[in-house]
Amino acid sequence: MTMPSERSRSVVQTREFLVELSRNKELPESVRDQARFLLRHFPKKDDVVLAGRIEEQSETLPIGVMGPVFSSVFTG
């Protein structure tokens, strides 16, 4: 099972990868366009950290059966 910190790190690293793809002039324009399209709705690192903080501080609120999705603390 993926831990919230691992999930947070993966989302942040995926965004960084998409940014690299979108800027790589050696790739076809269609690949760069697709990466830019995906980035439009992909969370930034600050968004992931904020979501983690909200989830961590909402222990008294029902956040679902799964528990926290993101973590405000992760390495990477």
Within a domain: residue 32?
A: yes
Q: Domain containing 16: what range? A: 4-57
The residue behind tokens 């947070």 is 8
Count of beta carbons in the 10 Å neighbourhood of residue 41? 6
The fraction of the chain above a pLDDT of 70, given in percent, is 83
Within a domain: residue 18?
A: yes
Within a domain: residue 53?
A: yes
27 contacts 21 by C-beta, under 8 angstroms: yes
Q: Which residues, at least 6 apart from 41, have a Cβ–Cβ distance to it below 8 Å?
A: none
- pLDDT of res. 75: 74
Within a domain: residue 67?
A: no
Spans of the chain below 70 pLDDT: 1, 59-68, 76
- pLDDT of res. 60: 64
Within a domain: residue 12?
A: yes
- pLDDT of res. 63: 56
Within a domain: residue 9?
A: yes
Helical H segments across 24-75, by residue range: 29-39, 45-57
Q: How many domains does the chain have?
A: 1
- In a 13 Å sphere around the CA of 56, the CA atoms on its Cβ side amount to 13
Within a domain: residue 35?
A: yes
